[in-house]
Amino acid sequence: MGKHFVSNQTESVKMFGNPVVEALSKVHWTVPLIVYIPIILFFQYQSIFTYNFGILESFALFLGGLFIWTLTEYLLHRFVFHFEPKSPLGKRLHWMFHGVHHDYPQDRFRLVMPPSISLPLATMFYFLFLLVFGSVHLPAIFSGFLAGYLAYDTIHYAIHHNGFRNKFMLKIKQHHMRHHYTEPNEGYGVSSPLWDYVFNTRPTKKLG
């Protein structure tokens, strides 16, 4: 993946010839909020009222799921989204999943993941968590994991299209902008730079 973007404007490049598939590849940033907030609340309800966890205990498990998300985000971004296949088909798929975002980083409709992709992935993680944590602890932990994903999607959009006055959020934005414009093979954490510090992939070059 090259260091230079194709366009820094907000337009969307056409990805598919089929108009239905093309429309499904775009999504407004509010859609994940509408889809996932009720799911998160359902799992929290299940944790407290079905499995009788106390609020503090359920919240602690929720934070555990949130922490798991931060590592998942880093690993997916580094080893899946930035994996560059050699075959023409592999290159095309890589571009559709992530390369297009680096080529058109300000595209307003391809900054959050469409539910047509995120829901199947969430289902896969649900069954993985069920296997690892069991049905009793699953709701609270998985709700935290989904909340982490939702924070990632929302923060990612805000980084590209909102201004920040908060110093911490300004650092988060700068961290991601360096990933886009100076060091695309560093800075894989989006909602949190934590694992870039742990794995020594923190971008250091100045912007501009």
Record the pTM: 0.90
Who wins on pLDDT, 10 or 40? Answer: 40
Judged on CB neighbours under 10 Å (0-12, 13-18, 19+), 9 is: exposed
- pLDDT tens digit string along 47-89? 999 999 999 999 999 999 999 999 999 999 999 888 887 888 7
Taking phi first (over 0 means left), then psi (-120 to 50 degrees means alpha), and beta for anything else, what does residue 182 get? alpha
Distance CA 197, CA 193 (A): 7
- At a CB cut-off of 8 Å and minimum separation 6, what does 142 contact? 43, 65, 125, 126, 129
pLDDT digits (tens, 9 = 90+) for 106-165: 887 877 888 988 999 999 999 999 999 999 999 999 999 999 999 999 999 998 888 788
